[in-house]
A and B are shown apart, each in its own frame.
Chain A
Amino acid sequence: MRKRLIGLSVAGVLLAMTGAAAAETVKVGVLGVFSGGFARWGAQFQQAITVYQKHNGDSVKGNKIEIVYRDVGGPDPAKARQMAEELILREKVQFLAGFAFTPNALAVADLITEAKVPTVIFNAATSVIPRRSPMFVRVSFTLAQDTLPLAQWAAKNKIKKVVSVVSDYAPGHDGEATFVRVFKEAGGEILDAVRIPLSTTDFAPFFERILQQKPDAIFLFGPGGPSSVGMVNMWAQRLKPAGIQLLTTNETQEIDLSKIGPAALGSIGSSHYTETIDTPLNKKMRGDLEAMFGRDTVPDTASVSAYDGMHMIYQVVEKLGPRPNPDEAMKLMSNMKFDSPRGPVQIDPATRDIIQNVYLRRVVDNGGRLQNRNFETVPMVKDPWKEWNPEKK
């Protein structure tokens, strides 16, 4: 009897030492939008994850990484919370990921804190999110981060007077606040800050009014989709002929560019991801996305964030095993530095938010196809909002 006990203990110790515990499945719950008007976000998540798993296999050290998708349908905090609960309690996921919309992320904050589930944000871009739970880490971007370099560049490049035009909702207000502050600090003048209701279909009167104010440029922020397309088109019709420049962040992202059409030519944008970024990883990711899902898939900021988010999760499993201690996992992720298809990225351990390059780019005609082309890189930009709004301890 004793011999057997010793034998078993020795075996147990040996097993523990090799770390080759029985291979376990690591479940990652991805909350995305797969139906309704915003379904492209979910599609981007899913496609990028599939490609990542093609590049890196679907297991880490023998542990299978299983993705469990759930559809929230849009900004719906109650549903997001319900699905997160299901994923945590029913599916017993080790990680949560996804979140295209801020309200959905905010709604699960106290849940993930209490249940201690590391959560990687693939899109939602409002600055405050990581502060709401120590289990949040963001790998996408913040609006303020993308906007800061644009305002600074504008002030340095003969643009003195700007009218800010944003859609009338929280991210729009954030964009406006950031641009106005940075531009003014850099010596520029803000003539007006216009907020356009989300439900607007005809933008003509707003833009007519701006024309009368004669700025050098307008800063535009919209929600993507039909509204953004409409606004850029209106700029092209009314303001471009008068020589008023268009400054945007992600309005001309590739997925919308073909819908806007030649109207977008000449506009200047700033973003953390451009389709023409010349890194080997970007080429590989885009190549595979096209090969696997067709010419019409347009990899965009959501794709690259999902790709990188998976990378982070894989790293955690690689280093800490299939059942990592949540606090250790968060510590590991908060200190990660790696190469993404978009360039070098880093997570800021103090804020659990992403630090990355921001690219200034222009929309050009590349042999009949519209493209964003980078002309300047602003390296390793931190989210300025957090510096302006220090956390009260």
Chain B
Amino acid sequence: MQTAVVILLDGLAYGMVLFIISVGLTVTMGLMRVVNLAHGAFAMAGGYVAAVLVAAGMPFFAALVVGTVAAGLLGGLSEITIFRPLYRKGELAQVLMTFGMVFVTIAGLTFFFGTDIKRLPVPDYLGGLVDIGFRTYPAYRLFLIAVGALLAIGLWYLIEGSLYGARLRAAVDNPRMARAVGIDVNRLFTITFVGGCALAGFGGIIGADMLPLEPFYALRYLVPFLVIVAVGGHGSFKGSFVAAITLGLIDTAGKFLVPSIAPYLFFGLVFVLLLLRPHGLWPAKSAG
């Protein structure tokens, strides 16, 4: 029983990291219908910025803020220069362009930082073990779960409960109509894209312990990120949350219970889920 709790916590923590990084992608892919294979690059950017700052002496949480903002700004810049022309060009062009971006990012980071892992140590008070009653458990993972939950609640409120969220949902459901009612869809897109990239950066920073920062990060974790989006359903924030947590839990539990099938578990599951639900668990509604 106690082990079950530990595994639950492990899986939750893993799922939360995936969620935090992927949720930005879900929204942009669902909202702007842009395939962004370079999403991991924004997570990476935030991570590297924070790592450099922490190494230079900045406290962790300050670096966290700066890194997140940096990722967001980078996202805004990319949206204006690279992504806007891509909207019309179709899915394939977007896949290719963002794939090229990934290559360029990897090369650039290798040039500046070398190929080894860039350490991003968490502050000492988070790095230790916490007594959860029947044994000790890494404080950092509990922190991740807490942050993920708070973020989920915050985003849910933002999207379901606020005016911005209402406008966003309107723009997703029917962009033409939204424009007709006076919603500045372009500006909404840009703001959302910036937000999505900032979220990615945030996830990259706090997740750096579990997903270590190195130049191939964007390529290495590309598949899990895309999987969350595909399984959860484009544009569905709820879907990506459920997908991330579910996949995280099942993957973790599977590795614990039957390590020999671990490699097949994740992708086998993805395969089955996508076949059963090609549009994702919670497909976004879209008018033609």
The answer on direct contact between A and B (beta carbons under 8 Å) is yes
Q: Which residues of A contact B (CB under 8 A)?
A: 36-40, 168, 194-197, 199-202, 204-206, 208-209, 212, 225-226, 229-230, 233, 237-238, 241, 255, 258-259, 261, 296
Q: Which residues of A contact B185 (CB under 8 A)?
A: none
Q: When chains A and B are docked, how far (Å) is the Cα of A241 from the Cα of B119?
A: 23
Q: When chains A and B are docked, how far (Å) is the Cα of A136 from the Cα of B117?
A: 34
Q: When chains A and B are docked, how far (Å) is the Cα of A209 from the Cα of B69?
A: 39
Chain B window 94-136, contacts with chain A (Cβ cutoff 8 Å), 1 for yes, 0 for no:
0000000000000000100011110101000000010000001
| Extra contacts besides A201-B211, A212-B3 (17): CB < 8 Å | A38-B115, A39-B115, A40-B114, A40-B116, A195-B260, A196-B259, A201-B210, A201-B224, A202-B210, A202-B251, A205-B253, A205-B255, A206-B259, A208-B6, A209-B256, A226-B212, A259-B117
Q: Which residues of A contact B216 (CB under 8 A)?
A: 37
Q: When chains A and B are docked, how far (Å) is the Cα of A186 from the Cα of B278?
A: 55
Q: When chains A and B are docked, how far (Å) is the Cα of A202 from the Cα of B253?
A: 12
Chain B window 69-96, contacts with chain A (Cβ cutoff 8 Å), 1 for yes, 0 for no:
0000000000000000000000000000
B10: contacting residue among A204, A225, A229, A230, CB under 8 A: A204
Please, could you name 28 A-B residue pairs with CB atoms under 8 Å apart, sorted by A? A37-B216, A38-B115, A194-B259, A196-B262, A197-B262, A199-B263, A200-B255, A201-B221, A202-B251, A202-B252, A204-B14, A204-B141, A205-B10, A205-B256, A206-B255, A208-B6, A208-B10, A209-B255, A209-B259, A212-B3, A225-B117, A225-B214, A230-B212, A238-B138, A259-B116, A259-B117, A261-B121, A296-B114
Closest to B209 in A: A233
The B interface, classified by DSSP as helix, strand, loop or mixed, is helix
Q: When chains A and B are docked, how far (Å) is the Cα of A200 from the Cα of B254?
A: 13
Whether A255 touches B10, Cβ cut-off 8 Å, given contacts A199-B263, A205-B256, is no
Q: When chains A and B are docked, how far (Å) is the Cα of A209 from the Cα of B6?
A: 11
Q: Which residues of A contact B119 (CB under 8 A)?
A: 258-259, 261
Q: In the complex, what's the smallest C-beta–C-beta distance from B164 to chain A, in angstroms?
A: 33
Q: When chains A and B are docked, how far (Å) is the Cα of A226 from the Cα of B116?
A: 8
Within 8 A of A (CB), among B1-54: 3, 6-7, 10-11, 13-14
Residues A37 and B252 in contact, CB atoms below 8 Å apart: no
Closest to B207 in A: A201
Q: In the complex, what's the smallest C-beta–C-beta distance from A242 to chain B, in angstroms?
A: 9
A202: contacting residue among B14, B110, B214, CB under 8 A: B14
Closest to A230 in B: B212
Residues B115 and A237 in contact, CB atoms below 8 Å apart: no
Closest to B118 in A: A259
Q: Which residues of B contact A209 (CB under 8 A)?
A: 255-256, 259
Chain B window 175-213, contacts with chain A (Cβ cutoff 8 Å), 1 for yes, 0 for no:
000000000000000000000000000000000011110
Q: Which residues of B contact A212 (CB under 8 A)?
A: 3
Q: In the complex, what's the smallest C-beta–C-beta distance from B85 to chain A, in angstroms?
A: 31
Residues A200 and B262 in contact, CB atoms below 8 Å apart: yes
Q: Which residues of B contact A205 (CB under 8 A)?
A: 7, 10-11, 252-256
Closest to B219 in A: A37
Closest to B6 in A: A208
Residues A229 and B212 in contact, CB atoms below 8 Å apart: yes
Q: When chains A and B are docked, how far (Å) is the Cα of A226 from the Cα of B7?
A: 23
Q: Which residues of B contact A38 (CB under 8 A)?
A: 115
Closest to A36 in B: B115
Q: Which residues of A contact B7 (CB under 8 A)?
A: 205, 208
B3: contacting residue among A39, A196, A204, A208, CB under 8 A: A208
The 10 closest A-B pairs by CB, nearest first: A205-B256, A205-B255, A197-B263, A204-B10, A205-B252, A202-B14, A226-B212, A259-B117, A39-B115, A209-B256
Most buried by A among B6, B252, B255, B263: B255
Residues B221 and A229 in contact, CB atoms below 8 Å apart: no
Chain B window 132-158, contacts with chain A (Cβ cutoff 8 Å), 1 for yes, 0 for no:
000010100100000000000000000
Q: When chains A and B are docked, how far (Å) is the Cα of A201 from the Cα of B13?
A: 12
Q: When chains A and B are docked, how far (Å) is the Cα of A168 from the Cα of B110?
A: 27
Q: Which residues of B contact A237 (CB under 8 A)?
A: 129, 138
Whether A204 touches B252, Cβ cut-off 8 Å, given contacts A39-B110, A226-B117, A241-B136, is yes
